[in-house]
Amino acid sequence: MGYLKKEINRKVGKAIHNFDLLSPGDSIMVAVSGGADSLVMLHFLNEWLKKAPIKFSLVPVYLEMGFNKNHAWKRLRDHFTKMDTPFYMEETDFGKVAHSNANRGKSPCFLCSWWRRKRLFELTKVLGCKKIALGHNLDDLIETFFLNMCYSGELCTMLPRQEMFGGAVTIIRPLALVEKEKIERLAKQLRLPVGENLCPSAGISKRGEIRQMLKSIYKGNRKIRGNIAKAIFNPRPEYLPG
């Protein structure tokens, strides 16, 4: 575990420094879904809280999406309590409604994530946070790049740091340089309270199709993932039309 944790910590530190993710006095909402990504992100932010030369604060936030409150609620509440930090939990029906007949024609994944993000933005005012930390990892950035290229005709992806509403709220992604497989391995080693994804659309979305495509490409050459990441973080717009 020591080597893996050091490797991920180094990449988190690189993201923090390269993309200016932390500033003195920050109050950061940490969006926790109950999956490995968000719990590992919370773990490292909490460690940086103790050792960083600047002072900032964390507020873990969990929004129950309406699939099974008892599945994760107590487990995450106990985890937050052990951290001895203020936290916020709220029950919603976002996921349930997105997969019901009330959803007329929209993608359940789009609606669910849109409502969740909207509520997180609203809670920044309630909790006094100027930043939202999301657990997206390097593979999420790569998948989003291919999703946007294939289905939206755009060369873009999620940013490690993204200002919203004229800078009123800033989204940060401390795991932007870390591979998902390593995050999942470390979550097991740290015995974090990771829960099963109960979403009915898990694994059958367009993102899932892109993920499977990329996995098949990676099998042919272990350097391809790194090369794609390098291309995303070091674009050459002078060789792109327009």
How confident is the model over 161-215, as pLDDT tens digits? 999 999 999 999 999 999 999 999 999 999 999 988 777 666 667 888 999 999 9
Specify the DSSP class assigned to residue 209.
H
Q: Give me the sign of the Cα torsion angle 19, 23, 29, 30.
A: positive
Strand ranges inside the chain, DSSP E? 27-32, 57-64, 88-91, 131-133, 161-164, 169-172
Name residues of the chain where pLDDT drops below 50: none
- Domain 2-239, what fold? Rossmann fold (3.40.50)
pTM: 0.93
**Which of 125, 133, 128, 98 has the alpha carbon at shortest distance from 114?**
98
